[in-house]
Amino acid sequence: MPGPATRRGGYREPPPPPKNLRERFVALRNLPPFLSSIWRTSPWLCICTIALRLLRALLPVSTLYVGKLIIDAVVRLLAGGSAHADLHAWLGDPALRHLWLLMALEFALAVAADLLGRATAMIDSLLSELYANGTSVRLMEHAASLDLEDFEDADLQDRLDRARRQVAGRSPLLSQLLGQAQDMVTVASFAVGLVVYAPWLIALLLVALVPAFLGEFHFNAQSYAVNHQWTPERRELDYLRLLGASAQTAKEVKSFGLNRFLVGRYRELSWSIYRANRRVAVRRAGWGGLFTTVGTIGYYAAYALIAWRTVRGEFSVGDLTFLSASFRRLRGLLESLLTGFSQVAGQALYLDDLFSFFRIQPEILSPAQPRPFPQPIREGFRFEDVGFRYPGAQRWAVRHLDFTLHAGEVLALVGENGAGKTTLVKLLSRLYDPDEGRILLDGHPLAEYDLEALRANVGVIFQDYVRYYFDAADNIAVGRIEARDDRARIEQAARRSVADEVIGRLPKGYEQMLGKLFKNGVDLSGGEWQKIAIARAYMRDAQLLILDEPTAALDARAEFEVFQRFGELAHGRSAVIISHRFSTVRMADRIVVMEGGRIEAIGSHDELVAAGGRYAELFELQAAGYR
């Protein structure tokens, strides 16, 4: 597929259809799993909507045929001279009873059609909502099973974005498919009537409608091609909307005067997408108008022939009404069916965006027969010549890592930005697997242990921790969400991280909603949020605690108190601390100095200062700032 003419929002020529005719039909393979998932959503609602639609499908031809009988009855009465001066005489005439019964029947059919339509719409709405909710849950569950590496891939982000859009966007497809099935039954009933009177009308209909079907089929594929190609730009539009109208970005956007730039970029990009869609829409409307005209010509040619045969006495007036109305309805239904089929084929292309996302499988998995996780850890974690490189990167993030994190040891990682500290932590918690070497836990490869058990025994707080817009209690409880109802544990974690002082100042305490996203939420300072985040690690009560820049937003007093309590908590546990503050790292049993993804030195604070290497240099630079 050709790339854009310019990456900065320039105009793209609408791309050719991404799939040939055969491949578009192959996309229909997505319909059976789609229908299967609809059925699993609610078999009872599915049965109800199918039954109601079957009844509705037979009503149109029944109503038209009853109308034909009414017209023929009226013509016979007029021809027989049955006329009365007043309404009372009309109502009492036995000759009219048959006509009244026919009119009552047509009235009942009209009422039934309305009631069945409303009931069907209600059931379809409920079924679509249940399907959207269930698929959203499935999407979240599947996304949670994928590797961290997947979420750092822009292509997967595009696929995930398309999948999210299809969850709600494809829900109406159910009504469309069932509606087509209903129309097919109706078409069959009308076709039987036409075949009895004038079978040549069917052939005339097909000749008139095939061009419209092929046109719709082609332009549905064109629309899909445009939407698929512009997915990255649509994600950028969503991001620009967030930047330009978000409580999290408002201060900086105002301070830097970014609003005009963001609005201009949004306008430029959205206009480019609009032009790409407009060209397809204009061509679709033009060709569609031509094909519709052909169909209209076919209808009026058939209408003229039916009228001519009626004048010749071959058809009655009721027959004329029934055939002309049946032909008109059949033409509309066939046109709708053919157009709908092309739309369903187009929808199937979009469904592929959803189901292809579900086909992505994680690589980091638990083994079939996992080794029991040690309780407690006895030897610790051993890195043996470990190397890792991010997908598509030329440079190794870390390489030739050889060291041991002993059981019960507090280890600090020190190094400049980009030295590989956070990558090492992600390898330790098995968010990534090494590309080289191996990591052992108590002498066995980390990959031999159950993944869920491993992560349950590792408490990690990264420097880019999440600010959950939940209440204060839940913000801490996410550290071990299964203990969400254990208020004593939550409060104890808050005390250990000094977050209890923050929560004590909130109007509603632990029930206070945090953040400004929802009504009555209270925002916190960076340091206060960080204390809440640290509490999550304590809430986890894990055998290995990992804190990545845990006190970056804290003042000196708060930092001292946090680490005084951390020392108490970490007693008898393993811990890893990443920090640029030497007042923090010097409390560790050993310090690992990293540079360029490799280990440069390991030792205690005093040993490293005495060695006079990079650690000593960085320590002196930081100490000089306080003199």
Nearest CA among 166, 175, 149 for reference residue 52? 175
> 328, 346, 327: which is closest to 19 by C-alpha?
346
d(C-alpha 474, C-alpha 511), whole Å: 9
Cα 614 to Cα 594: distance, rounded to the nearest angstrom: 9
SS3 per-residue string spanning 215-234: HHHHHHHHHHHHHHHCHHHH
Q: What is the DSSP string of 146-197?
A: S-HHHHT-HHHHHHHHHHHHHHHHTTHHHHHHHHHHHHHHHHHHHHHHHHHH
Cβ-proximal residues to 171 (8 Å cutoff; 6+ apart), any chain: 128, 129, 131, 132
Which DSSP string do the residues of 101-120 spell out, in sequence order? HHHHHHHHHHHHHHHHHHHH
Written as one string, the DSSP assignment of 500-511 is HHHHHTSTTGGG
Q: Are 388 and 396 in contact (CB under 8 A)?
A: yes
- Which pLDDT band, with edges at 50, 70 and 90, does 490 fall under? very high
Q: What is the residue type of 477? A: A
> What integer pLDDT is reported at residue 209 of this predicted model?
61
SS3 332: helix
Residue 429 in this model has a pLDDT that exceeds 70: yes
Least confident piece of the model among 36-50, 399-413, 548-562: 548-562
Q: What is the pLDDT of residue 257?
A: 62
Which of 65, 342, 54 lies closest to 216, judged by CA? Answer: 342
Q: What is the pLDDT of residues 243-287, one digit of tens each?
A: 666 656 665 665 556 677 777 777 888 888 787 777 777 777 777
- Checking if the pLDDT of 447 tops 80, the result is yes
Residue of higher predicted confidence among 605 and 74? 605
| The Cα angle at residue 72 between residues 100 and 185, in degrees rounded to 5 | 85
Residues 28-358: name the CATH superfamily.
ABC transporter type 1, transmembrane domain (1.20.1560.10)
Residue 285, pLDDT score: 72
Contact between 423 and 397 (Cβ < 8 Å):
yes
Residue 526 pLDDT: 80
Q: Who wins on pLDDT, 229 or 399? A: 399
Q: How does the average pLDDT of the chain come out, rounded?
A: 77
% helix, strand, coil for the chain, step of 5: 65, 10, 25
Give Cα 520 to chain centroid, integer Å: 28
- The torsion angles phi and psi of 210, rounded to 5 degrees, stand at -60, -45
Report, as an integer, the average pLDDT of 577-600.
85
User: What topology is assigned to 380-624 in CATH?
Assistant: Rossmann fold (3.40.50)
Q: What is the 3-state secondary structure (H, E, C) of 269-326?
A: HHHHHHHHHHHHHHHHHHHHHHHHHHHHHHHHHHHHHHHHHHHCCCCCHHHHHHHHHH
> For residues 529 and 464, what is the distance between their CA atoms, to the nearest angstrom?
11
Among 14-28, 144-158, 189-203, 450-464, which is the least confidently predicted range? 14-28
Q: Pairing relation of β-strands 444-445 and 398-406?
A: unpaired
Residues 150/360, Cβ–Cβ less than 8 Å: yes
Q: How far is CA 242 from CA 228, 304, 513, in A?
A: 22, 60, 21
Greater confidence, 124 or 25? 124
Give percent of the chain above pLDDT 70. 69
What pLDDT, on a 0 to 100 scale, did the predictor assign at position 362?
84
Q: What separation in angstroms does the CA of 167 have from each of 25, 29, 207, 453, 488?
A: 22, 18, 37, 32, 40
598-603/590-595 β-pairing:
antiparallel
Q: Which residues contact 158 (CB under 8 A, 6 or more apart)?
A: 231, 232, 235
pLDDT at site 489? 93
Residue 382, both tokens: 């051993």
Domain spans of the chain, in order of start: 28-358, 380-624
User: Could you give the C-alpha distances from 228 to 136, 193, 225, 308, in angstroms and in order?
Assistant: 21, 44, 5, 52
In this structure, the number of other CB atoms found within 10 A of the CB of residue 227 comes to 19
Bigger pLDDT: 438 or 292? 438
Residue 6 has pLDDT above 50, yes or no: no
Crossing angle of the two packed helices 154-169 and 97-145, in degrees rounded to 10: 160
Ranking 210-214, 310-314, 525-529 by mean pLDDT, the lowest is: 210-214
- Please give the helix or strand (H or E) that residue 32 lies within, else none: helix 31-41
Q: Residue 487 — very low, low, confident or very high, per pLDDT cuts 50/70/90? A: very high
In the predicted model, what is the mean pLDDT of residues 532-551? 82
State how far the Cα of 23 lies from the Cα of 30, in Å rounded to an integer: 12
Let me know: does 184 contact 337? Beta carbons within 8 Å. Answer: yes
Task: State residue 364's pLDDT score.
Answer: 86
| pLDDT of 126 over the 80 cut | yes
Instruction: Give the pair of three-digit tokens for residue 364.
Output: 């980091």
pLDDT for 211 equals 63
Asked whether 522 and 506 are in contact (CB, 8 A), the reply is yes
Q: Give residue 621's pLDDT.
A: 77
Hey, is 560 helix, strand or coil?
A: helix
More confidently predicted of 215 and 293: 293
Beta-ladder partners of 594: 599
- Cβ-based neighbour number of residue 547 at 10 Å: 26
Question: What pLDDT does residue 399 have?
Answer: 92
Is pLDDT at 564 greater than 90 in this prediction? no
